[in-house]
Homo-oligomer: A and B are copies of this chain.
Amino acid sequence: MLKLYSFGPGANSLKPLLTLYEKGVEWEHQFVDPAKFEQHSDWFKEINPRGQVPALVHDGKVITESTVICEYLEDVFPDANPLRPKDPFMAAQMRVWTKWVDEYFCWCVSTIGWARYVSHIANKMTEEEFENHLKNIPIPEQRTKWRRARDGFPQDMLDEEMRKIGVSVDRLEETLSQQDYLLGDQYTLADVCNFAIANGMDMGYPELVNEEKTPGIMAWLTRIKERPAVQKMFAHTKKEDLGPAKK
């Protein structure tokens, strides 16, 4: 039995969701609702004690960490629409890209996302509700992030993250202005993991990602969104409702 627990098709949850749709193997999806803090619920922490999605359960074994799950799916289903190059040098280039997403690109986009979307969830709670909510979060850094979402992120932190988003966009455009996918002709986990973060940036960061400034990224986003697996994923996967963005 193969079952993925995740939020809707965005950010880290999108990575294994899309990988599973691309592979076309048999699997089940269990939506974990962030608007109800289900990732910090007791039932979910029995699956992942860190209280973080996504988590994959395969024949009773739990695999965590989105990028690790994607590589696991390649290891277990190597012949189902391979998304990891067979050539070791190209696999290494793929891992440089997925590692960069995990260590750099996802964090800056995440902080701004939290400031825009999670902040008003955090502000809707009473002081008591909020403190009770924090008690259920196992990771100290996540508790700090929730406090900042409620109290406001320091402006110099937001400025620095916006700078990093700019660097990230430049890095993607530099490659994608020259080739269809991040590794060249081949669509791989490098694209899946970057698409997870970059999708929607033309809406969220229209001043940075647009037809004029980043035609390479725009064409790459369109190319990926035209894939049958991507369309199926967006059509079939429940999406959380976090309310409007805070300006």
Question: Which residues does A use to contact B, with CB under 8 Å?
Answer: 58, 61, 63-65, 67-69, 71-72, 75-76, 88-89, 91-92, 95-96, 99, 102-103, 140, 167
Chain B residues with Cβ below 8 Å from A67 are: 95, 99
Known: A99-B102, A102-B103, A103-B102. A63 touches B92 (CB 8 A): yes
Are A91 and B65 neighbours in the complex by a CB distance under 8 Å?
A: no
Interface secondary structure of A, over-half rule: helix
* Contact A99:B65 (CB < 8 A) given known A71-B92, A88-B72: yes
Are B91 and A75 in touch, CB under 8 angstroms?
yes
Among candidates B69, B89, B140, residue contacting A63 with C-beta atoms closer than 8 Å: B89
Distance in Å: Cβ of A198 to nearest Cβ of chain B: 20
In the bound complex, CA of A190 to CA of B95 (Å): 17
Are A72 and B91 closer than 8 Å at their CB atoms?
yes
Task: List the B residue with the shortest CB-CB distance to A85.
Answer: B75
Partner pick for A89 among B61, B91, B95, CB 8 A cutoff: B61
How far does the Cβ of A163 sit from chain B's closest Cβ, in whole Å?
8
A89 / chain B contacts, CB cutoff of 8 Å: 58, 61, 63, 72
